[in-house]
């Protein structure tokens, strides 16, 4: 009797505990990271009697957290990947959006620029047409600046995000360390019963942490969880939290890097961070922002350099040689300075300057110039390859023909000194107009040819074109007279004798046979006799074609162009740059820009797909965790009913015991 | 599998959010009419779009360039038509002027009209285009191309460049022709060779000479220079000479080289147009026979020939003309016996005899590819020059014609000189008209080329716009049916959410 009273009481107490657990579940139905709990019931130790073992009721052995370590780990991993992709996608979309607007991109202003050049070619003497070109060029430069500014804003956003993310990560690390401490104590106090809610809390903190950065968590025997980031840097060790922080890049102060340590001290771990928002930001900066900045910069460099080169080969309305249409550090004659590392050792006086030599070889990569104690080594950072130099040129620059620039080093280097050469990074921000006066647009070609009006034959000469005269001033200074003679180069060897300029026998004859060359023969003045030996290097690129049948004594002259306000030859050549394959020798400027847009678009598109796919994977992981740990209210309602019944039934048992006892008492009282 | 309550809600809400996102995209597409809103919507398409837009804009620019070229070429064509008409009128006048029935007076009226036509021609050659640039100045747009200088010569101040405009991706067309090619670089004669009256030298030993020196032969450099007519050279038996101009002024003195008897060479440097620069630098080669005495004097007189009634008639090619450079050939007539046959001799620039013969009326003289008809009767010493055709501006041709017509004719020889000059002028005018026709043909060909290029460009524009539209533009029918489906989907998701979340066992626990 007393036995089943206590059995009834055990049922009552167990039902109370089970109901408490159920109501705990119900109350936490919306608590993030909460795992449902279950009061585990077990029979009490039975009484051993002669007649056998009599059951002695129920007992709550423990309150179990419905939990699966694998599911939790999976959710954490996928959370990390998901938030990396999501961040990466969000950032890339911003660039995508920026380039999407047909009116805001580079394409329309580039088009307008070349249209204006054509306008000048149509009507080279028109000042309004020239003014339009100046204005369109200014818009083009402005647009480069605007886009560059948007990119640099994105970079600043990344920097501030990196700083605030490291703050949050440090904060979460501290919270995890605190919970670790609490769990260790709770485990000791409870004699091994799991502190379920603390464990949930820690799992949730870890999950939050993995949104920011990818982490590895290892549980210790004392219940504490050690957390590692990057390639094994400790973030939480038991009850102790470590710190990560940001530091300015040694070469490029505009970008922050992540270090394992407080106050920017410690090893740089940026390259090892793979997941979370932090990983997404760093990936975006490395794979989208910087390559896009460089691509745009390369277009700016290519534009400035090719336009300048052509413009300098023309004559402006004042009859002067064209000046620099655009200005940009790094263009020939205007070396740019490479950024020294802040870690360079004393005396820290070397200066590295560089100049573009060939836009068609220019890449979108950055470079590091490092002194190894004996030699300077240039490394291309996109593939970490050492670039072989093409030797030292006449100006004392070390050339790198494969990369399209040359470098000069001065000062006393110490082993380990390094410099960052980002040839294209800031070009779009630094591009400037070189001319402002419409008269200074060099639309005319520098040379003209004339057939003498006293010529008797029907020989003709084309306008001389100048493509790459190395010393155009020398060429312009000379008036050349070509006189036809049947015996120009000795008896029986017809040709034109050049007089004027540096041309001297025996290299002053253009061999020309009126009988066999009357359909036209072209000449390059650097090699008048056409024997393949360059006799006058300064004249390289001055070419023209003679045709027809000149007669003895016929004279053609080549001289500096003057008063040719209607000459559009150089403007036409400038307009021709629009379709010229400039970048990588295969791509026009405009196509280079569309490639860049399309690259960003493809990257964003791919990220959109991956981040959606990753979201699904994460959802599935959450589902499988929820399947085990999630609270189902219907289930709890059922439990509520079930344990209520247990409680009521146990109470009835007590009533029965009481009734029996009363019966016994009544019997005795009589 | 267990489903947690939170999950049921989450699934419902995220499905609603997803539907809304899709709906929003479709809505934006419908609002803008564009299929591609962001480069990431269709990266390949975006790149294609940028390229297409560029090529459409560029082609439009080509069309604008073509229009500019057409405007200028049409203006040029108009001017050239006027020039042709003008030259035709001058030619008519020349033909009339050649007629023997004309008098000095009527010819002078004609000369006046031709001078007026010449002014009009100059005006035409200095036409400006719509932007104020000279049409025929080559690329020297702001320099007046044709001016008459202080010496009365028509000089071309432009250059020989053409301006090319880009009318297709690899098609450039010249929007004009330099004035030099139109008006100035016109061949004279028959285009291959030309003739002129060369004039001759009359040599005489002075009356009071003591010795018996005679001048056997006198030649000016390689050829006779017409500008020398009226000049005379007097030289003595030792080494000095003096030159007298047509007005009787001594304009040069000097010493010659060579000894008599034998060959002497008198250097000549003369400023015949009075502009202060030397126009003629040559040598006069004289062969003296006999024995002149030291104080003897000789005189050379330069005369404009012919003295007879000979004039050059039709000139034509007889095979391929062989030029003799630099001076050309001289055709000299001689009549040793005043009643005997008229001989002719052709010498090349070096004085080497090319051919000799007896002149017969209506029989052409032929040598080295040239066939020359001589009308009238040449006199002893009449000399004509036969040279490779030179460039002669159409202005000069008209000027020469006017001068010839203005010169009074007083005798048969004068009439012959007139006929000779007018015949030459007619030939030159014909060549000038031929030249202008050639230029006009080339202008016409260019207009036609631009026309067909414009047609090609237009075709490309239509096709490119179509491609652009097919890449960029939204298929409305598809988008609207998509919108409906998405609306239905969203409604379903919302209703499902409400229904599912409305279910709870707690509803039944009372």
pLDDT tens digit string along B315-371? 888 888 888 777 788 888 887 777 888 888 888 877 788 888 888 888 888 888 888
Phi, psi of A75 (to 5 degrees): -60, -40
Residue A20 in this model has a pLDDT that exceeds 90:
yes
Residues of B in contact with A454 (CB under 8 A): 390-391
Hey, CA dihedral for B422, B428, B430, B432, is it positive or negative? negative
Buried b or exposed e, range A63-93, using 16+ CB within 10 angstroms: bebbbeeebbbbbbbbbbbbbbbbbbbbbbb
Q: What is the pLDDT of residues A536-588, one digit of tens each?
A: 888 888 889 999 988 888 899 998 888 888 889 999 999 999 888 888 888 89
Least-confidence region, from A126-130, B276-280, B441-445 = B276-280
Residue A226 in this model has a pLDDT that exceeds 90:
yes
Q: How far is the C-alpha of A139 from the C-alpha of A137, rounded, in Å?
A: 5
Give which of B161, B180, B326, B501 to mutate to test A binding, by max A Cβ within 10 Å: B161
Residue B274 in this model has a pLDDT that exceeds 90:
no
Cite the beta strand spans of B271-382 per DSSP E. 280-289, 297-303, 311-317, 329-334, 342-347, 353-359, 365-367, 370-375
pTM of the predicted model as reported, rounded to 2 decimal places: 0.82
Mean pLDDT (chain B) is 85
B441: confidence class by pLDDT, cuts 50, 70, 90: very high
Q: DSSP code of B34?
A: B
pLDDT at A217: 92
Q: Does A125 touch chain B (CB under 8 A)?
A: yes
Tell me the average pLDDT across B209-217: 74
B305: confidence class by pLDDT, cuts 50, 70, 90: low
Mean pLDDT (chain A) is 90
pLDDT at B246: 77
pLDDT at B466: 92
CA A8 to chain CA centroid, Å, is 71
pLDDT at A2: 54
What are all long-range contacts of B227-231, with beta carbons under 8 Å and residues at least 24 apart? B227/B272, B227/B279, B227/B280, B228/B199, B228/B270, B228/B272, B228/B280, B228/B302, B229/B199, B229/B302, B229/B303, B229/B304, B230/B302, B230/B303, B230/B304, B231/B270, B231/B301, B231/B302
Q: Measure CB to CB from residue B39 to each of A96, A632, A634 and give the nearest one.
A: A96
Q: What is the pLDDT of residues A304-329, one digit of tens each?
A: 999 999 998 888 988 888 889 999 99
Helices (H) and strands (E) in chain B, counts: 7, 21
pLDDT at B414: 81
Residue A293 in this model has a pLDDT that exceeds 90:
yes
pLDDT at B440: 93
B373: confidence class by pLDDT, cuts 50, 70, 90: confident
pLDDT at B130: 82
Residues of A in contact with B44 (CB under 8 A): 598, 602
pLDDT at A155: 93
How far is the alpha carbon of A119 from chain B, nearest alpha carbon, in Å? 8
Q: Does B507 touch chain A (CB under 8 A)?
A: no
pLDDT at B210: 76
Query: A345 CB contacts (<8 Å, ≥6 apart)?
Result: A414, A416, A417
Contact A106, A299 (CB under 8 A): yes
Buried b or exposed e, range B246-263, using 16+ CB within 10 angstroms: eeeeeebeeebeeebbee
B199: confidence class by pLDDT, cuts 50, 70, 90: low
Q: How far is the C-alpha of B283 from the C-alpha of B266, rounded, in Å?
A: 5
Q: How far is the C-alpha of B469 from the C-alpha of B53, rounded, in Å?
A: 11
- Indicate if ipTM > 0.90: no
Q: How far is the C-alpha of A565 from the C-alpha of A316, rounded, in Å?
A: 9
DSSP string, A99-130: HH-TTTSSHHHHHHHHHHHHHHHH-TT-HHHH
Q: Measure CB to CB from residue B37 to each of A100, A105, A591 and give the nearest one.
A: A100
Per-residue CA distances from A318 to A56, A441, A446, B141, B260 (Å): 116, 10, 12, 14, 61
Question: Which span out of A34-43, A491-500, B100-109, B283-292 was modeled with the highest average pLDDT?
Answer: A34-43
Residue B164 in this model has a pLDDT that exceeds 80:
yes
CA A49 to chain CA centroid, Å, is 81
Tell me the average pLDDT across A494-502: 88
Token pair of B215 as six digits = 């001048």
CA B75 to chain CA centroid, Å, is 16
Q: How far is the C-alpha of A430 from the C-alpha of B282, rounded, in Å?
A: 67
Q: Does A2 touch chain B (CB under 8 A)?
A: no
B280 three-class SS? strand
pLDDT at A149: 92
Query: B448 CB contacts (<8 Å, ≥6 apart)?
Result: none
Contact B281, B220 (CB under 8 A): no
Q: Among the residues of B377-411, which ranges form H helices?
A: 394-406
B291: confidence class by pLDDT, cuts 50, 70, 90: confident
Residue B372 in this model has a pLDDT that exceeds 80:
yes
Q: Does B140 touch chain A (CB under 8 A)?
A: yes
Residue B229 in this model has a pLDDT that exceeds 60:
yes
pLDDT at B382: 79
Contact A403, A397 (CB under 8 A): no
Which residues in chain A (76-95) have CB-CB distances under 8 A to chain B? 92-93
Q: What is the pLDDT of residues A620-638, one digit of tens each?
A: 999 999 999 999 999 999 9
Which residues in chain B (44-83) have CB-CB distances under 8 A to chain A? 44, 46-47, 49-51, 53-54, 57-58, 61, 64-65, 68
B450 three-class SS? helix
Tell me the average pLDDT across A421-447: 91
A291: confidence class by pLDDT, cuts 50, 70, 90: very high
Test A594 with B47 for CB contact under 8 angstroms.
yes
Closest residue on chain B to A129 (Cα): B131
B433 three-class SS? helix
Question: Judging by DSSP bridges, how do beta strands B297-303 and A215-219 pair with one another?
Answer: unpaired
Q: Does A602 touch chain B (CB under 8 A)?
A: yes
Residue B462: other Cβ atoms inside 10 A? 10
Q: What is the H or E stretch that residue A511 is in?
A: strand A509-511
Q: What is the pLDDT of residues A438-482, one digit of tens each?
A: 999 999 988 888 888 888 888 889 888 887 666 777 777 778 899
Test A566 with B142 for CB contact under 8 angstroms.
yes
Omega prior to B261 cis, within 30 of 0: yes
pLDDT at A300: 95
CB pairs under 8 A between A and B: 216
- Give me the residue label for tokens 């001048």: B215
User: Comparing C-alpha atoms, which of A309, A338, A330 is closest to residue A321?
Assistant: A309
Q: How far is the C-alpha of B200 from the C-alpha of B203, rounded, in Å?
A: 10
Phi, psi of A547 (to 5 degrees): -145, 170
Q: Report the DSSP beta bridge partners of residue A376.
A: A371
Hey, CA dihedral for B389, B392, B394, B397, is it positive or negative? negative
Contact A4, A11 (CB under 8 A): no
pLDDT at B411: 81
Tell me the average pLDDT across A253-259: 91
B223: confidence class by pLDDT, cuts 50, 70, 90: low
Residue B160 in this model has a pLDDT that exceeds 90:
no
Q: Does B37 touch chain A (CB under 8 A)?
A: yes
B222: confidence class by pLDDT, cuts 50, 70, 90: low
Q: Report the DSSP beta bridge partners of residue A236.
A: A227, A241
Residue B209 in this model has a pLDDT that exceeds 90:
no
Q: Among the residues of B37-150, which ranges form H helices?
A: 43-98, 104-125
Q: What is the pLDDT of residues A122-138, one digit of tens each?
A: 989 889 999 999 999 99
């Amino acid at each position: 009797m007393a036995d089943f009273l206590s059995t009834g009481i055990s049922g009552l107490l167990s039902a109370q505990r089970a109901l408490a657990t159920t109501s705990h579940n119900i109350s936490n139905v919306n608590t993030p990271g909460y795992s449902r709990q279950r009061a585990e019931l077990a029979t009490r130790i039975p009484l051993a009697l002669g007649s056998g073992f009599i059951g002695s009721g129920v007992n709550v052995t423990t309150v179990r957290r419905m939990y699966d370590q694998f599911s939790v780990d999976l959710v954490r991993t996928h959370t990390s990947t998901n938030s990396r992709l999501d961040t990466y996608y969000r950032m890339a979309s911003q660039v995508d959006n920026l380039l999407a607007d047909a009116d805001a991109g580079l394409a329309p202003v580039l088009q307008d620029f070349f249209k204006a050049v054509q306008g000048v070619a149509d009507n080279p003497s028109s000042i309004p047409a020239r003014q339009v070109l100046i204005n369109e060029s200014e818009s083009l430069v402005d647009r480069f600046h605007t886009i560059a500014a948007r990119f640099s804003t994105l970079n600043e956003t990344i920097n501030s995000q990196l700083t605030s993310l490291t703050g949050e990560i440090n904060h979460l690390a501290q919270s995890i360390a605190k919970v670790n401490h609490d769990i260790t104590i709770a485990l000791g106090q409870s004699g091994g019963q799991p502190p379920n809610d603390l464990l949930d809390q820690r799992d949730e903190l870890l999950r939050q942490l993995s949104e920011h950065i990818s982490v590895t968590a290892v549980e210790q025997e004392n219940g504490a969880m050690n957390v590692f980031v990057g390639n094994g840097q400790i973030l939480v060790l038991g009850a102790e939290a470590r710190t990560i922080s940001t530091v300015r890049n040694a070469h490029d102060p505009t970008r922050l890097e992540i270090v394992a340590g407080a106050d920017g001290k410690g090893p740089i771990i940026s390259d090892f961070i793979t997941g979370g928002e932090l990983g997404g930001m760093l990936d975006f900066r490395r794979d989208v922002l910087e390559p896009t900045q460089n691509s745009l910069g390369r277009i700016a460099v290519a534009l400035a350099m090719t336009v300048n080169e052509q413009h300098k080969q023309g004559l402006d309305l004042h009859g002067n040689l064209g000046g620099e249409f655009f200005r940009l550090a790094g263009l020939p004659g205007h070396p740019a300075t490479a950024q020294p590392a802040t870690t360079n050792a004393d005396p820290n006086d070397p200066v590295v300057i560089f100049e573009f030599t060939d836009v068609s070889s220019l890449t979108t990569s950055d470079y590091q110039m490092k002194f190894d104690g004996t030699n300077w080594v240039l490394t291309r950072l996109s593939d970490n390859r050492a670039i072989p130099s093409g030797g030292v040129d006449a100006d004392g620059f070390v050339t790198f023909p494969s990369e399209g620039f040359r470098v000069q080093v001065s000062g006393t280097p110490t082993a380990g000194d390094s410099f960052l050469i980002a040839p294209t990074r800031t070009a779009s921000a630094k591009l400037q107009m070189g001319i402002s006066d419409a008269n200074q647009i060099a639309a005319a070609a520098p040379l003209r040819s004339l057939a003498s009006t006293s010529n008797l034959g029907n020989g003709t000469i084309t306008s001389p074109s100048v493509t790459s005269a190395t010393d155009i001033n020398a060429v312009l200074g000379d008036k050349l007279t070509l006189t036809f003679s049947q015996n120009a180069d000795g008896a029986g060897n017809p040709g034109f004798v050049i007089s004027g300029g540096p041309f001297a026998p025996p290299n002053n004859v253009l061999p020309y046979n009126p009988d066999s060359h009357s359909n036209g023969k072209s000449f390059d003045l650097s090699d008048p006799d056409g024997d393949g030996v360059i006799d006058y290097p300064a004249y390289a690129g001055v070419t023209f074609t003679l045709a027809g049948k000149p007669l003895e004594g016929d004279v053609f002259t080549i001289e500096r162009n003057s008063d040719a306000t209607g000459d559009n030859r150089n403007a036409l050549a400038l307009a021709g740059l629009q379709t010229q394959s400039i970048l990588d020798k295969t791509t026009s400027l405009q196509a280079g820009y569309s490639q860049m847009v399309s690259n960003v678009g493809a990257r964003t598109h791919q990220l959109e797909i991956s981040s959606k796919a990753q979201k699904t994977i994460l959802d599935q992981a959450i589902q499988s965790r929820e399947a085990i740990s999630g609270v189902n209210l219907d289930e709890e309602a059922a439990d509520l009913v079930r344990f209520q019944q247990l409680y009521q039934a146990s109470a009835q048992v007590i009533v029965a015991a009481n009734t029996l006892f009363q019966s016994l008492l009544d019997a005795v009282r009589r | 599998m267990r489903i947690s309550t939170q999950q049921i809600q989450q699934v419902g809400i995220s499905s609603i959010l997803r539907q809304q996102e899709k709906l929003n995209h479709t809505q934006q597409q419908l609002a803008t009419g564009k299929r591609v809103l962001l480069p990431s919507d269709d990266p390949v398409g975006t790149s294609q779009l940028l390229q297409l837009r560029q090529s459409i804009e560029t082609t439009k620019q080509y069309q604008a360039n073509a229009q500019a070229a057409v405007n200028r070429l049409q203006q040029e064509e108009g001017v050239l038509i006027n020039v042709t008409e003008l030259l035709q009128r001058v030619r008519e006048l020349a033909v009339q002027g050649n007629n023997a029935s004309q008098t000095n007076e009527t010819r002078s009226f004609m000369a006046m009209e031709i001078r007026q036509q010449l002014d009009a021609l100059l005006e035409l050659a200095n036409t400006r285009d719509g932007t104020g640039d000279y049409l025929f100045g080559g690329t020297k747009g702001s320099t007046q191309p044709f001016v008459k200088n202080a010496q009365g010569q028509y000089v071309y101040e432009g250059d020989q460049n053409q301006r090319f405009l880009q009318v297709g991706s690899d098609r450039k067309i010249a929007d004009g022709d330099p004035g030099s090619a139109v008006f100035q670089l016109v061949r004279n004669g028959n285009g291959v060779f030309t003739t002129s009256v060369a004039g001759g030298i009359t040599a005489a030993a002075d009356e009071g000479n003591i010795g018996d020196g005679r001048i056997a032969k006198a030649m000016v450099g390689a050829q006779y220079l017409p500008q020398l007519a009226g000049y005379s050279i007097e030289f003595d038996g030792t080494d000095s000479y003096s030159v007298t101009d047509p007005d009787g002024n001594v304009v040069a003195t000097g010493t010659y080289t060579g000894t008599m008897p034998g060959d002497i060479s008198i250097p000549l440097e003369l400023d015949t147009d009075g502009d202060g620069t030397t126009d003629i630098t040559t040598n006069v080669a004289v062969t003296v026979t006999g024995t002149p005495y030291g104080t003897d004097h000789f005189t050379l007189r330069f005369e404009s020939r012919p003295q007879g009634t000979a004039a050059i008639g039709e000139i034509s090619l007889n095979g391929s003309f062989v030029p003799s450079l630099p001076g050309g050939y001289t055709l000299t007539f001689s009549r040793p016996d005043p009643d005997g046959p008229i001989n002719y001799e052709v010498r090349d620039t070096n004085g080497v005899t090319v051919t000799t013969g007896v002149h017969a009326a209506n029989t052409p003289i032929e040598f080295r590819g040239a066939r020359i008809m001589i009308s009238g009767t040449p006199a002893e010493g009449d000399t004509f020059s036969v040279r490779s055709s030179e460039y002669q501006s159409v202005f000069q041709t008209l000027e020469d014609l006017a001068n010839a017509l203005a010169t009074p004719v007083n005798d048969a020889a004068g009439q012959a000189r007139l006929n000779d000059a007018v015949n030459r002028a007619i030939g030159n005018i014909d060549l000038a008209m031929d030249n202008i026709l050639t230029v006009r043909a080339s202008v016409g060909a260019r207009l036609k080329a631009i026309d067909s290029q414009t047609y090609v460009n237009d075709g490309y524009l239509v096709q490119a716009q179509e491609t652009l539209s097919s890449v960029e533009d939204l298929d409305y029918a598809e988008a609207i049916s998509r919108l409906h489906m998405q609306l239905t989907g969203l409604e379903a998701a919302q209703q499902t959410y409400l229904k599912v979340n409305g279910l709870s066992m707690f509803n039944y626990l009372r």
